[in-house]
Structure 1
Amino acid sequence: MDVLSPLRRRLSFTFSGQSEGIPAWELALEDGEDAGYFAPDSVTWRVHGGMTPIIGGIRALLTQALHPGVLAGVVDHSYYQDEPLARIAHTIRWVFTVTYGDTAAARRACEHVRRRHEPVVGRYVDGRGTERDYSANDPELLAWVHLAFTDAFLGAYEYVHGPLPAGLADQYVREWAVAGELMGVAEPPRSAAALREQLAAYDDGVRLTHSAHLDEVVGFLRNLPLDPLLVAGYRRLFAAAVDSMPDRSLELLGMDRSSLRRSLLPPRQAAQVTLGVVGLALGTTGPSEAAARRRLARLGVL
């Protein structure tokens, strides 16, 4: 008997919405007529492979929520409290389709997201108390979401595995700029330094702010209504996501890093152990990467 099969089923349902088999969209990544935007030896495959994107996804959601315009779109137009796993599954599908799909699949995935953004409009209050209009496809909000994703996935990888060799962090930011451009971001950063500069520029006292809605969303993310088998592991990964974030981000979130260090293991080590168990349950090569490799083999790239 496979002792990890109950965990595998629950993880699969959490990430894909189905507990058995491989989702059709992942199998479809085997189709296509080109190698896609990222090669198997790219830093993007390295950073997005393995288990660290789980931590990266949590960190990205926390970072995105610091912008009240992005946060308002989530609060006003999504049913995140009723269907929390659906949002996670949609995000995973977009990231892996752009990473592992052919160029046509990547473009379709981004166009699909932009279409879903079209009705996401409303008003929010900025850091100075001024009411502003927002649209999910606004250049400012699109850019912030891209910066948050890039920073979170890179940061999560380096938090768990240690710093990338010299130049590879820059290469990752440069590679993943393609995803930003596909989503309509005009000038995505192309180096780690530019990424930090653009992130810092948003912290101008107006565009990023703390609010009651932010407390509500952070509290929900901290205590997602997961299957009981997953709760302890998720809490460790949430703590790691928070611990991996810059001090200024935690200040804006209203969180205290020291409160995360009360378990038997520090957050990093606890996350490494947890991700190791998740990797044993799900396998070292995910279905998206496996499908991409079959496509590349068919095309003679591998």
Structure 2
Amino acid sequence: MARSVAVPNRKTVEPAEDYGFFGPDSVTWRVWSYPTSLTVGFQRAVVVEELDPALVASVDETHAIWDRPRTRYDRTLRYFALVAFGDSRATSKAADVLVKVHSKAVGIEPLSGGQYDANDPRSQLWIHLTAWHSILYAYERYGPGKLSEQDELRYWQECAVAAELQTCAGEHIPRNRAEVRQYFEEMRPQLVGSQVAKDTMNHLLQADVMLPKLPAVFRPVTKGIAFALRKATVATMPRWMRELGGIRQSRAMDALVRPLARITFALAHLNRKSELRMLGVLSPSTVSVVAPVLLGVPPRNPETLTPAQARERYGYTEPATAHLELRARQAERALAGKRRSDEGIRESEPILGSTA
């Protein structure tokens, strides 16, 4: 099981190789580096995405969020942090190996009887946009507030850049607020509050399952943090989404949690080491990715690349067409009821963290 880590300082933190795909002048760095993002924002994303029948079927098949919730949370958060903050080499490698990891997640979705595939461009776009939308929404609600019209446009354009690291189809990626709203309206009729979805969403709202095991004397504190995080996250979800998920929370609680959360996150943001300490509890493996950004440690090479430039430099294939032979082999075995290879999982551990 992942453990909390020591908080680095400017003298001990390892500089990144470069600025990755965004850099200090990006809206992405401004929004994602605020403490709302990798807490409420990320929890909201992993909860909301379970309403997609294909995705929740894939999640339920592995059972990882039930058997190893802290490990699964840690690895997923590290990947998204790499996309936002990581250097171009490490992030390109993570994106490539993730295609292999997802090649195992193929099967039959029980509600429709259709096939699901975690590498399907539609599934990848749902995960990607749910994360980026949730991160921004949490920032607006519990952080500094709404972005300017120009900055929001930049944010969604940067979101489209990040989508190039997944199998998303370029022509379907929204690039402004109107297109994002249209996307979610089109997705809404396809979302289903099945019993599996409800169980999974409520499980993921129990933040204490993501936290490390502490001595009994500290458990009331852990429960209190988990309770507050759940209330803050639920308050960001529209009523129709809560109804699908079987989640209840009063309007009074929604109103009460907002000022309390805003004050808490504002205070946390005053001290970057406190932010890193909080992150070290939630996701130890993510600290090394985020630390150079929060502590203002410049990279060895102060440049930004596009995903296409990075693939050309490091020799990776575009995600949509990467590892097609492995993906076909894994799908064939999955649909025949045979055990799939752990090739991608094993390769991912040095990059995304242990699966144990």
Normalised to the residue count of structure 1, the TM-score between the two structures is 0.81
Give the equivalent residue in structure 2 for 1:36: 20
Counterpart Cα distance in 1 of 2:236 and 2:159: 20
Deviation at 1:193, TM superposition (A): 1.5
Match of 1:94 in 2: 79
Distance 1:76 1:259, change over 3 A: farther
What corresponds to 1:157 in structure 2?
A: 139
CA separation of 1:27 and 1:120: change in aligned 2, threshold 3 A: farther
Q: Secondary structure at the match of 1:80?
A: helix
In 2, the alpha carbon distance for the partners of 1:36 and 1:166 equals: 25
Equivalents in 1 of 2:267, 2:198: separation in Å? 31
Identify unmatched segments of 5+ residues in structure 2: 277-286, 304-356
Rate the CA distance shift 1:115–1:67 in 2: closer, same or farther, 3 A.
Answer: same
- What does residue 294 of structure 1 align with? 297
1:163, 1:259 → 2: CA distance? 22
Q: Which amino acid aligns with 1:294?
A: V
Find the partner of 1:182 among 150, 165, 168.
165
Q: Deviations over 1:169-215 (max 9, x none)?
A: 222111021221111111321112211111111122xx210111112
Q: Distance in 1 between matches of 2:13 and 2:59?
A: 29
Is residue 246 of structure 2 the alignment partner of residue 246 of structure 1?
no
Alpha-carbon contact 1:243-1:260 (below 8 Å) kept = no
Distance 1:234 1:270, change over 3 A: farther
Q: Could you tell me the percent identity over the aligned residues?
A: 28
CA RMSD across the alignment: 2.7
SS of aligned partner of 1:131: coil
Q: 1:181 touches 1:188 (CA, 8 Å); kept in 2?
A: no
Deviation at 1:287, TM superposition (A): 5.0
1:29-75 residue CA offsets vs partner (Å, 9 max, x unmatched)? x242x431102021100111021111011110111101011111111
The gaps in structure 1 that reach 5 residues or longer are: 1-12
Find the aligned partners of 2:266 and 2:288 in 1 and give their Cα distance. 18
Q: How many pairs were matched up? A: 275
Would the alpha carbon gap of residues 114 and 47 (structure 1) be closer, same or farther in structure 2, given more than 3 Å must change? same
Alignment partner for residue 90 of structure 2, among 89, 105, 116?
A: 105
In 2: Cα distance, 1:300 partner to 1:124 partner: 45
Cα distance in 1 between the residues matched to 2:131 and 2:231: 18
Q: Which residue of 2 aligns with 1:267?
A: 257
- What TM-score do the two structures reach when normalised by structure 2? 0.70
Q: Secondary structure at the match of 1:155?
A: helix
CA contact (8 A) 1:236 1:274 kept: no
Alpha-carbon spacing, 1:299–1:284, altered in 2? closer, same or farther (3 Å): same
Helix, strand or coil: the match of 1:189?
A: coil
Match of 1:113, SS? helix
